[in-house]
Structure 1
Amino acid sequence: MNLNWFKKGVVYQIYPRSFKDSNADGIGDLKGITSKLDYIKSLNVDIIWISPIFKSPNKDNGYDVSDYCAIMPEFGTMSDFDELLNEAHQRDLKIVLDLVPNHTSDKHSWFKKAKQSKNSPYRDFYIWKKPSPDGGPPNNWKSFFGGSAWTFDDSTEEYYLHLFTKYQPDLNWENPKVREGIYEVMRFWLDKGIDGFRMDVVSLLSKDLSFENIDPNIGFRKIIEKHYANGPKIHQYLHEMHEKVMKHYDAFSMGEGVGITQDNAHLYVGEDRKELDMIYHFDILENNIINGKYEDISEFELINIKNIFRGWQKVMTKGGWIANALGNHDFARLVSRFGNDKKYHKESAKMLITLMATQNGTLNIYQGDEIGMTNIQLDNIEEVNDIQSRNFYYENLESQKFSEEEALEMINNEGRDNARTPMQWNKEDYAGFSEIQPWLQVNPNFEKINVEQQIADSESVLNYYRSILALKKEHNVFTYGKFEEFEKNNKNIYTYSKTLGYQKIVVFLNFSEFENVIDYEFGNEKNYDLLINNYKFVTKTLENICLKPYQSIIFNVN
């Protein structure tokens, strides 16, 4: 395995709209990020991934791009970006941008020209189909955000494909001019000096071109895997992207792996494949979401988490590499989903980062998780901003599958607004994010959960993040160690060791609200040191360890 810099590096994801407002317009911006670079550096992270900053009408908060080589005006100017990049590099922080290669905005010049005529030279930049015999959509494909994946264009009397909103028409990667257009965009930013791309839904670039009707009963996840992702030319396209662009720069590609499974992941990231450097898979993030839908939620089960991590360990033995994350801009807050955000808020937040920091793969953490930000309670649909959540709610009103109260509860539990509330910097007005009412309401708990308060508290979630990420930098075994698991069927405790050369660490994680005794025997390993513990004390003997609720401990064994 090549031990590239980006494998051991820790990624800190910023959602710029919600990070820091520098000009008092209620919207986070590039200068706001620049102003917080010293804070970001203090976390002991190495790479900053910034969600889309390109010019956009913001129908999907920047994932609908109208100009890939221009900055969204509310985020600032190209000069502001250049300053951010320079200041980050001076602090030895890498910058990764969020590329959106699968679709554009319907306001992009390519799509505007494509709509003008069926004979337009840009027509084939997108995927157009004639209506079905009854005048309806060409097939029964559904959008990720609900409703049909096809929208009728009155001017040319054909449907265009959009796997997301109707404002985000899918590009036709079969057209070499489309591919070269995206490659030119990539070169533009790489020539500026950025350090890589997170590639949005990159697995969807090649689709099932039969466009046959699909069986909706197989579940949306299987629909993605079989029809939307992993198309017949996906590896041709990604290899071409590597050969024409990425291999010429000291930069890395992290592909969002929607629809990629443990069985086919090595085809995307095997080092001999020369496609992607790593994939950002969803098995952990969606471990309790059955079909990628709010209504298909199961109870959290630690056994399931163990199985997922075990499977991805095997993927990496084939020479590939993955990114690991428990939270991002598309999911509810991790401490609310997988921990206990009330009685054991601090303990469970610390335990969860211990889990992630000790798994092989590149660790991704999301802004605000380092202080244990939680889900927000929204009282009515008017308070909901996210288009996916709103579409779900209004479609449910038509189907009456759930009551309005039940639908809103699902949004509060799993909706994307939970992760997008403004960053909580201090207990001043609007959490120190802005001087005016922000674009999205601040979580009311900002007076108790904020950066300023936690910096001063040696036992805070923030200072624990700093400590464990410092250990991850110091000890390669955290990232590359050989993984051995114990008590695989224990429903409350996750115990494993990692070994690299002469170093071995043992990790104990309690995922329950109860004390649990671990039967791990150190045996002849008499010499062991405590590396980190999320409680102030450790109860142990050589034969067993009693873990407090949500306790996590790492020992260094000699």
Structure 2
Amino acid sequence: MSELAWWQRGVIYQIYPRSFQDSDGDGIGDLAGITTRLRYLVELGVDAVWLSPIYPSPMADFGYDVADYCNIDPMFGTLADFKQFADRAHELGLKVLLDFVPNHSSDRHPWFEESRSSRENPKRDWYLWRDPAPDGGPPNNWLSRMGGSAWEWDAPTRQYYYHAFLREQPDLNWRNPRVRRAMDDVLRFWLDRGVDGFRVDVLWLLIKDARFRDNPPNLAYKAGEPAHHRLLQTHTEDQPEVHDIVRSMRATLDEYGKRVLIGEIYLPVPQLMKYYGANGDGADMPFNFQLLNARWNAGDIANMIRDYNSALPEHAWPNWVLGNHDNPRVASRAGPVQARVAAVLLLTLRGTPTLYYGDEIGMTDGDIPPDQVQDPAELRQPGIGQGRDPERTPMQWNTSSAGSGFTTGKPWLPIAANTSVHDQEDDASSMLSLYRRLLSLRHSNAALVQGTIENVAAFGDVLTYERRCRNLRLFIALNMGAKEATVQAHRGVVLLSTLAGRDGDALVEGVNRLAAGEAFIAAI
């Protein structure tokens, strides 16, 4: 497997820093806390740690409103703490990935403060400013993804500025070469400090229509959806010029050796494929989010796997994501039994998997009382299910203390006490043990890392496929239903099953039993 890049061989683990480990008792996770938990990640079996934003920020959107791209928010520590974290991670063999948030800054970033100071300021064109419409209203009909108009009136300079998200998050003007150079300097700042790659926030939104034309109405809009879905995002996302930016980022990372560029991109598969670029000059991995919103149905997922792999350009490397900080947790979406099946699915599909912290112990969405809601997405559009607090609750390390081993203070969000790492680590049948076994098997079996994926099929509630690499041949079967099923297989041996006691069982040629909610990996 040595011919593959580290990010092709490895498994990425996403940490939401506010919620992983608090070291100082303020109820908010920090870098020093994360550093103390790195050994746990090594024992789990992951290869890279991706941190959601840790930059200085007013926290209007919990760090996605960046006030300084080249520093650490005191909430999380200092640059010295970051160095200690990165050095320790590298010492343990873990790669370090950072979130890069280039679409917008905080309105308190010095760049924007200069930009809004006057129309003549040299940084005025670093952001998107427009005159009012003839009636004095916003320049066009573009809508914020956080509700309401995407245009905010600035009375002193008598123009509107554009914000795809909160008004505290003005969008940068990526058509300005000075902005591009400044952001390139940001990448270099962190690359010089040993960062192994970046996950680029909302990569597909970076460029907007140069003529600022209205977005057309979405005739398929349904009541209860987010307000911005009323319009098709024709002129505010996935513009052709964005690919030049991706190539530029790729070129900068290439100067530093084997660094990985990952793009957050919520687009249909045909459009997603364009972000790989031509012959490897785009993103290494445009995130494949299909499993986040998929119906938990064997036929649907079989079609998804086939279509995605068929669409990949020849030079492209696939990837799969089961959970993240913006979507309900898999154990809440599919239930605790099927969350185990989902773990087998994620870690046996072809491509690089990304795990979300806590999914390895089956954490579910937290219960957030109305008076403890933190997320601006929910506060601005209550009642439509956009709040992301439930999937961001603190890591559950133990159930024997009020702070669940996460903090000695009051946690920033309520912590569920239904399970924990401590409860599961010595239980051979636990979710944590399943993940450890899966990750160990993945790292030791070339078919699961570099093998082809073949014979993807669905038979009722059962999804099956094979992974092949030279003389290695694995058969994966997943019962995504609530009833016992049968599966046709070749003679072989079960290497791993979610059903206790089945590891090592023989498969017979022909019909084999598959318990309700069981998944197995077999050598055939």
Counterpart residue identity of residue 322, structure 2: L
Question: Match of 2:251?
Answer: 243
Counterpart residue identity of residue 252, structure 1: V
Question: Match of 2:343?
Answer: 353
Q: CA deviation at 1:541?
A: 4.1
Superposed, 1:164-175 pairs within 5 Å as 164-175=165-176
Superposed, 1:311-350 pairs within 5 Å as 311-337=307-333, 339-340=334-335, 345=336, 347-350=337-340
Structure 2 CA distance for partners of 1:274 and 1:139, relative to 1, 3 Å: same
Contact 2:213 2:235 in 1 (8 A): no
CA distance in 2, matches of 1:307, 1:209: 37
Superposed, 1:348-387 pairs within 5 Å as 348-379=338-369, 381-387=370-376
CA distance in 2, matches of 1:165, 1:508: 44
- TM-superposition CA deviations, 1:437-487 (whole Å, max 9, x none): 1111112xx2x4100111121111001101101111111211332222354
Contact 2:247 2:277 in 1 (8 A): no
- TM-superposition CA deviations, 1:152-205 (whole Å, max 9, x none): 111111111111111111110000000010110100000011101011011111
Q: 1:425 aligns with which of 397, 400, 414?
A: 397
Counterpart residue identity of residue 357, structure 2: Q
- Which range moves more in the overlay, 135-144 or 85-94? 135-144
Question: Match of 2:421?
Answer: 451
Where is the helix percentage greater, Structure 1 or Structure 2? 1
CA distance in 2, matches of 1:302, 1:385: 36
Question: Match of 1:494?
Answer: 463
CA distance in 1, matches of 2:277, 2:244: 14
Is 2:405 the counterpart of 1:470? no
Question: Match of 1:215?
Answer: 216
Is 2:298 the counterpart of 1:309? no
CA distance in 2, matches of 1:224, 1:21: 42
CA distance in 2, matches of 1:307, 1:225: 27
Query: SS state of the match for residue 116, structure 2?
Result: helix
Question: Match of 1:516?
Answer: 485
Contact 2:132 2:138 in 1 (8 A): yes
Structure 2 CA distance for partners of 1:245 and 1:548, relative to 1, 3 Å: closer
Question: Match of 1:121?
Answer: 122
CA distance in 1, matches of 2:190, 2:149: 34
Counterpart residue identity of residue 366, structure 1: Y
CA distance in 1, matches of 2:95, 2:456: 36
Q: CA deviation at 1:240?
A: 1.9
Is 2:512 the counterpart of 1:548? no
CA distance in 2, matches of 1:152, 1:82: 41
Contact 2:489 2:508 in 1 (8 A): no
Query: SS state of the match for residue 227, structure 1?
Result: coil
CA distance in 2, matches of 1:70, 1:485: 49
Counterpart residue identity of residue 249, structure 1: G
- TM-superposition CA deviations, 1:365-392 (whole Å, max 9, x none): 000000000112334x322211112222
- Which range moves more in the overlay, 109-118 or 271-280? 271-280
Contact 1:270 1:318 in 2 (8 A): no
Query: SS state of the match for residue 544, structure 1?
Result: strand
Q: TM-score, normalised by structure 1?
A: 0.88
Contact 2:86 2:96 in 1 (8 A): yes
- TM-superposition CA deviations, 1:405-460 (whole Å, max 9, x none): xx2xx53xx641121111000011121110111111112xx2x4100111121111
Query: SS state of the match for residue 310, structure 1?
Result: helix
Counterpart residue identity of residue 462, structure 2: I
- Which range moves more in the overlay, 382-391 or 240-249? 240-249
Contact 2:243 2:277 in 1 (8 A): no
Counterpart residue identity of residue 444, structure 2: E
Query: SS state of the match for residue 203, structure 1?
Result: helix
Structure 2 CA distance for partners of 1:172 and 1:181, relative to 1, 3 Å: same
Q: CA deviation at 1:243?
A: 2.3
Question: Match of 1:276?
Answer: 283
Question: Match of 2:225?
Answer: none
Mark the runs of 5 or more structure 1 residues left unpaired by the alignment: 289-299, 394-406
- Which range moves more in the overlay, 323-332 or 279-288? 279-288
Question: Match of 2:412?
Answer: 439
Counterpart residue identity of residue 6, structure 1: W
Question: Match of 1:398?
Answer: none
Q: TM-score, normalised by structure 2?
A: 0.93
Query: SS state of the match for residue 139, structure 1?
Result: coil
CA distance in 2, matches of 1:284, 1:82: 34
Query: SS state of the match for residue 291, structure 2?
Result: coil
Superposed, 1:32-431 pairs within 5 Å as 32-218=33-219, 219=221, 226-259=234-267, 261-270=268-277, 272-287=279-294, 300-337=296-333, 339-340=334-335, 345=336, 347-379=337-369, 381-393=370-382, 407=383, 411=385, 415-427=387-399, 428-431=401-404
Alignment RMSD:
1.9
CA distance in 2, matches of 1:309, 1:247: 34
Structure 2 CA distance for partners of 1:487 and 1:266, relative to 1, 3 Å: closer
CA distance in 1, matches of 2:82, 2:512: 50
Structure 2 CA distance for partners of 1:225 and 1:17, relative to 1, 3 Å: same
Contact 1:207 1:232 in 2 (8 A): no
Mark the runs of 5 or more structure 2 residues left unpaired by the alignment: 222-227
Counterpart residue identity of residue 104, structure 1: S
Contact 2:17 2:31 in 1 (8 A): yes
Contact 2:332 2:365 in 1 (8 A): yes
Contact 1:239 1:273 in 2 (8 A): no
CA distance in 1, matches of 2:146, 2:266: 14
CA distance in 2, matches of 1:249, 1:134: 53
CA distance in 2, matches of 1:18, 1:55: 17
Query: SS state of the match for residue 403, structure 2?
Result: helix
Question: Match of 1:397?
Answer: none
Contact 1:265 1:315 in 2 (8 A): no
Contact 1:430 1:437 in 2 (8 A): yes
Question: Match of 2:454?
Answer: 484
Q: CA deviation at 1:210?
A: 2.6
Q: CA deviation at 1:349?
A: 2.5
CA distance in 2, matches of 1:9, 1:32: 24
Question: Match of 1:399?
Answer: none
CA distance in 1, matches of 2:317, 2:231: 25
Query: SS state of the match for residue 238, structure 1?
Result: helix
Query: SS state of the match for residue 14, structure 2?
Result: strand
Structure 2 CA distance for partners of 1:486 and 1:111, relative to 1, 3 Å: closer
- Which range moves more in the overlay, 40-49 or 202-211? 202-211
Question: Match of 1:396?
Answer: none
Query: SS state of the match for residue 431, structure 1?
Result: coil
